[in-house]
Amino acid sequence: MPDTAVPAASIPPWEKMAVTFDKGPAPVAKFGLVCLDCDQVIESELRIFMPIPGVSLLSTRIPLGGQGTPETLAAMEAHIPEVARLILPDDKLDVFIFGCTSGSMTIGPERVEAAVHKARPGVPVTNPVSAAAAALRQFGARRIALLTPYSDEINAVVGRYIASQGFDIAARGSFKCENGVEIGLVPPEAIYEAGVRMGRTDCDALFISCAGLRASSVVQRIEDAIGKPVVTSNQALAWDCLRRAGVEGSVPGFGRLLADR
Amino acid sequence: MAVGGQHSGLCDDWRTLNCKLDDGPAPRAAIGLITLSTDNVIEGEVLSFLPAEGVALYRSRIPAAAKNTPEGLAAMAPQIGGVAAMLLPDDHLDVIAFGCTSGAMVIGPAGVAAAIHTARPGVAVSNPVSAALDGLRALGAKRIALLTPYPDRTNAVVGDYVAGQGFEILAKGSFKQAGGPVIARIPPEDVYEAGVALGGTAGVDALFVSCTALRVASVLQRIEDRIGRPVVASNQALAWDCLRRAGVGDAVPNAGRLFSL
């Protein structure tokens, strides 16, 4: 050792600090979330709909690669297992969320679940369209008004899927955004105006489809204005995750789905 | 910009709802965060240091080695670009952060930045160690106490790195645990006790608590109040640095002296 080296005795050693262990940051529930690469909204909206201490939302992204079309949405299926592995791979998740409404309709909820199970056998899986359909059925809603931000091509998939689930579509309206970036830029007030307009048609409930829409701040106001239940993609996801994980308690302020649970 | 005008007639009963787009959910700061697959803590902790309005944290995960050894940490480098590519690929991000303190030391901040820039040329980049050391410098700290949760071999890398950046380490302590899932279960109260013990060392200017998977946010201010010196922690410094790079200078309550600079 050269003479200039610091004598070992003068370097303080690493002291071993006392440590115990608790149940970690998510003693109530851990939810894994796969969101679209372009989604600017779902991560924060889901947290807003689940303001519950001890609940963790762990997210990662899946490549959509540009504009959402039936083809690009379907192509995500092949990526689901590899991204599912990235969320706490050695840990048990209470619910695994595939966070794309139109993608779930295009691929099909059963195939989404099968793809997740390739990487995470046995984990409960949810997606916005299955969650929303369950929520609408809980309200006994048969005639649905639909509000989406999608292109005509995706709207055709969505309309067919909702009808195939046994719902009548009383009215349907769309912002017809050209891509995922635009969907994130639809102002909440525009969702309010459009939601009230669609919800005032001859329907039992309003479904606002798309995890990329900023609906959390206007759900309650739309419900109050139309006097009917409002179900949105992210609100239904939060509701489905909480009930599947056995987390009880009302979440007021975001419509009767979360308030009356 | 407005959407809704391009009605194609493909699905005639879809009403076209026109709306004027706004600045989206993150007009003040859009932050991308590369998260370790095993990290159950960083997302919640970083969010706790960010202002609620106009700031968004977009996450995507990178495969982490089961044990945080220098070799396992170095192996992440080639995957950073692919993960960065999935963070809002067609959208503006103010900054992309690499969310691993020890990994940033092993790979080196320049290596981390270069890897992110392969996918996102020119984007501002942050990592916990550069952010923390910048924070310590901004606080005028030269002689520091160091608290980590890492095993001995990673501690050696951390000690050398911090000393190599011109800081004098007067005290160093570690919980000596390997892997995100175990580190996540270290109770904040243990961090408090260890932080007070090390940070109270005579002659210390500030305490640095290293690791994004360690729960520090709920006790950081209490440690500062007790030792009468600033505390810099990985997730706190990362949030501070990302906000600063995005031009957001908000004071954040109970987030330590760093956020009052």
Contacts of B134 (CB under 8 A, 6+ apart): B237, B241
Residue A11 domain-assigned?
A: no
The tens digit of pLDDT for each residue in B63-120 reads 997 667 888 889 999 999 999 999 999 999 999 999 999 899 999 999 999 999 999 9
Residue A19 domain-assigned?
A: no
DSSP B3: E
Nearest CA in chain B to A88: B38
A187 touches chain B (CB under 8 A): yes
The tens digit of pLDDT for each residue in A121-142 reads 999 999 999 999 999 999 999 9
Q: A162 CA to chain B: closest CA distance, Å?
A: 14
Q: Which of B22, B40, B193 lies at the smallest CB-CB distance from A18?
A: B193
| B155/A14 touch (CB, cutoff 8 Å), yes or no | yes
A121 and A248 share one domain: yes
Domain that holds residue A212: 130-233
A224 and A142 share one domain: yes
Find the farthest-apart pair of alpha carbons in chain A and give their distance in angstroms, rounded.
Answer: 89
Q: Which residues sit opposite B201 in a β-bridge?
A: none
A215 and A247 share one domain: no
A21 touches chain B (CB under 8 A): yes
Q: Please tell me the pTM assigned to this model.
A: 0.94
Tracing tokens 């980590």 back to the chain, one arrives at B148
**Domain B29-128+238-248 carries which CATH code?**
3.40.50.12500
**Residue of B6, B13, B15, B102 to mutate, testing the A interface (most A Cβ within 10 Å of its Cβ):** B15
A113 and A139 share one domain: no
A124 and A134 share one domain: no
User: Using CA atoms, how far apart are residues B17 and A142, in angstroms rounded to an integer?
Assistant: 24
The third-level CATH classification (topology) of the domain covering B130-233 is Rossmann fold (3.40.50)
Q: Is the ipTM of this complex over 0.95?
A: no
| A20/B187 touch (CB, cutoff 8 Å), yes or no | yes
Total domain count, chain A: 2
**Residue of A23, A86, A206 to mutate, testing the B interface (most B Cβ within 10 Å of its Cβ):** A86
| Residue A153 belongs to domain with CATH number | 3.40.50.1860
A216 touches chain B (CB under 8 A): no
| Residue A68 belongs to domain with CATH number | 3.40.50.12500
Which residues of A fall within a CB distance of 8 Å from B6?
176, 178
Q: b or e along B204-241 (b: 16 or more beta carbons within 10 Å of the residue's beta carbon)?
A: bbbbbbbbbbbbbbebbebbbeebebbbbbbbbbbbbb
Residue A84 domain-assigned?
A: yes
A227 and A211 share one domain: yes
Residue A202 domain-assigned?
A: yes
Which residues of B fall within a CB distance of 8 Å from A194?
17, 19
Write the single-letter amino acid at A13: P
The span from the first CA to the last CA of chain A, in angstroms, equals 70
Q: What residues does each domain of chain B span?
A: 29-128+238-248, 130-233
| A87/B61 touch (CB, cutoff 8 Å), yes or no | yes
| A181/B182 touch (CB, cutoff 8 Å), yes or no | no
Cβ of A16: how many Cβ atoms within 10 Å?
12
Sign of CA dihedral A197, A202, A205, A206: negative
The tens digit of pLDDT for each residue in A24-58 reads 999 999 999 999 999 999 999 999 999 999 999 99
The tens digit of pLDDT for each residue in A145-184 reads 999 999 999 999 999 999 999 999 999 999 999 898 999 9
A242 and A216 share one domain: no
A22 touches chain B (CB under 8 A): yes
| A61/B175 touch (CB, cutoff 8 Å), yes or no | no
